[in-house]
């Protein structure tokens, strides 16, 4: 357990002159409060994929101290990480194979989602009495039970409950188009979810946790809120609905490891994909696609050097990338901002995502393990997890 009132963060002391990923938990704290204010229901902090790359335990603690009441992850191995860190908050894991260690989930007080009859059988036959959330596919043909099997699943779950094998505490669904609030697919998803809850009740179940909304629907559609929202992206400043100002929490910097003067017409990098159009200075950054800079952003991306945007030129390599520093140049050793919240003119994660034809989620979850990390604690915690 962690000391009362203190936020335990992994702050690896950084070797000067290396790349650095800073995570600002104060931004996570403010985003959590913004999201909590948007719903009358409970807020589940979804901290899968290491808290969307921001540090799952840190994001979990921060969110719990600022309005979230529960935690959510996909796999049970992610759940163990949170429990091992001393987090005792209610915790749900929703994406597991049928042979997952469900008895351990019961012992460690981790709720599990049940998306099929096969999962129900595995959970019910296990040694523990698991708390389960029946998971309906609300219309994206991805995870969750199909409508055709839902009534059967509910009846089987009720039988297992009567036998004392499981406790059905929730019904969950997920919307496939929530980032486009006007899309008909949302109405279909809401209707199917409401129907799924009615069917569960008709089977004799009393699911007190009914949850459908993730970040986008939490911010745009109260009809999807029910008793709880599961928010992940929003905690770390990503709003897929683009309706709300949330704060990005990551800043990626790197030093220039080398600067050279070149003539006009100098070919740069693999395949000579770029040629300088003018005499200029080229700077080298020790970050590449192995560190999460998407190769698709080659020759499109920008970075901030001495307060000015400068273009990335040539192909992004595995470990390095070249920046056109312009005639004025810069010194080897100077720090360059690859992305950040944008307040000082640096590119944002959203811009990097656009340059790579992807979404912000893929950028923040893709930062490689070899980039040293620094976590800035939230200044104020209302309550410990």
Ligand X SMILES: *Cc1c(COP(=O)(O)O)cnc(C)c1O
Residue 156 CB coordination number (10 Å) = 19
Least Å distance, CB 142 to ligand X, is 9
Cβ–Cβ < 8 Å for 324, 313: yes
Shortest Cβ distance from residue 304 to ligand X (Å)?
27
Q: For residue 145, what is the DSSP state?
A: B
Dihedral of the CA atoms 312, 317, 321, 326 (nearest 10)? Answer: -50
Segment 86 to 115, residues that bind ligand X, using CB under 6 A: 94
Strand order in the sheet with 373-376: 258-262, 280-285, 321-326, 308-313, 302-305, 335-339, 250-255, 20-24, 373-376
User: Quick one: which of 57, 233, 252, 367 contacts ligand X (CB under 6 A)?
Assistant: 233
Of residues 15-74, those binding ligand X (CB under 6 A): 46, 48
Which of 64, 231, 284, 385 forms a contact with ligand X (CB under 6 A)? 231
Size of the site for ligand X (CB under 6 A): 12
Q: Is 228 in the site for ligand X (CB under 6 A)?
A: no
Q: Is 189 in the site for ligand X (CB under 6 A)?
A: no
Q: Catalytic annotation on 289?
A: no
CB of 364 to ligand X, least distance (A): 11
Least CB distance from residue 121 to ligand X, whole Å?
Answer: 22
- Contact flag: residue 248 with ligand X (CB under 6 A): no
Q: Contact at 8 Å (CB) between 70 and 93?
A: no
Q: 23, 28, 45, 48: which one is catalytic? A: 48
Residue 214 touching ligand X (CB under 6 A): yes
Q: Which residue, among 247, 318, 237, 311, has the nearest Cα to 280 in the 3D structure? A: 311
Q: Where are any strands of DSSP class E within the chain?
A: 20-24, 42-46, 70-73, 91-93, 110-114, 130-135, 166-172, 209-213, 228-231, 250-255, 258-262, 267-268, 274-275, 280-285, 302-305, 308-313, 321-326, 335-339, 373-376
Interface segment toward ligand X; rule CB under 6 A; list 56-64, 192-200, 230-238, 259-267:
230-238
Cβ atoms of 7 and 62 within 8 Å: the answer is yes
Residue 73 Cβ, how far from ligand X at the closest point, in Å?
9
Kindly state the smallest distance separating residue 18's Cβ from ligand X, in Å. Answer: 30
Q: Which of 20, 31, 96, 215 touches ligand X (CB under 6 A)?
A: 215
Instruction: Pick the closer one to ligand X by CB: 46 or 381.
Output: 46
Active site residue 380: no
Catalytic residue among 109, 270, 279, 318: 270
Contact region for ligand X (CB under 6 A) — 231-239, 278-286, 294-302, 369-377?
231-239
Binding part of the chain for ligand X, among 122-130, 186-194, 233-241, 253-261 by CB under 6 A, reads 233-241
Q: Which is nearer to ligand X, 66 or 174 (CB)?
A: 174
User: How far, rounded to the nearest angstrom, does the alpha carbon of residue 277 sit from its chain's CA centroid?
Assistant: 40
Cα 263 to Cα 276: distance, rounded to the nearest angstrom: 7
Q: Which two tokens stand for residue 69?
A: 């009441």
Q: Would you name the residues annotated as active-site residues?
A: 48, 270
| Residues near ligand X (CB under 6 A) | 46, 48, 94, 174, 214-215, 230-234, 240
């Amino acid at each position: 357990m962690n000391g009362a009132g203190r936020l335990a963060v992994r702050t690896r002391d950084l070797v000067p002159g290396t790349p650095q990923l800073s995570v600002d938990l104060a931004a996570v704290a403010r985003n959590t409060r913004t999201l909590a204010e948007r719903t009358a229901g409970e807020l589940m902090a979804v901290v899968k994929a290491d808290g969307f790359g921001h540090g799952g335990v840190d994001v979990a603690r921060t969110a719990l101290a600022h309005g979230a009441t529960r935690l959510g992850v996909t796999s049970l191995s992610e759940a163990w990480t949170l429990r091992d860190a001393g987090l005792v908050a209610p915790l749900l894991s929703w994406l597991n194979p049928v042979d997952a260690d469900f008895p351990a989930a019961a012992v460690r007080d981790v709720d599990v989602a049940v998306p099929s009859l096969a999962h129900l059988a595995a959970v019910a036959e296990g040694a523990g009495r698991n708390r389960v959330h029946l998971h309906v596919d609300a219309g994206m043909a991805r995870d969750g039970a199909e409508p055709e099997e839902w009534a059967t699943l509910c009846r089987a779950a009720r039988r297992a409950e009567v036998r004392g094998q499981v406790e059905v505490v929730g019904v969950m669904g997920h919307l496939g188009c929530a980032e486009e609030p006007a899309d008909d697919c949302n109405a279909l998803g809401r209707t199917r979810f409401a129907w799924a809850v009615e069917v569960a009740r008709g089977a004799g179940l009393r699911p007190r946790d009914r949850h459908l909304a993730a970040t986008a629907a939490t911010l745009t559609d109260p009809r999807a809120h029910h008793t709880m929202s599961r928010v992940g992206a929003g905690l770390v400043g990503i709003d897929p609905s683009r309706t709300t100002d949330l704060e990005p929490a990551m800043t990626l910097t790197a030093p220039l490891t080398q600067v050279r003067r070149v003539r006009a017409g100098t070919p740069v990098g693999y395949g000579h994909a770029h040629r300088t159009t003018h005499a200029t200075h080229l700077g080298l950054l020790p970050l590449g696609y192995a560190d999460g800079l998407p190769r698709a952003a080659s020759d499109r991306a920008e970075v901030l050097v001495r307060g000015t945007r400068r273009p990335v030129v040539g192909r992004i390599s595995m470990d390095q990338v070249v920046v056109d520093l312009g005639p004025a140049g810069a010194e080897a050793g100077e720090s360059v901002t690859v992305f950040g919240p944008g307040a000082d003119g640096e590119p944002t994660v959203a811009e990097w995502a656009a340059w790579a034809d992807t979404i912000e989620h893929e950028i923040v979850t893709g930062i490689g393990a070899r980039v040293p990390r620094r976590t800035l604690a939230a200044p104020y915690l209302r309550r410990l997890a």
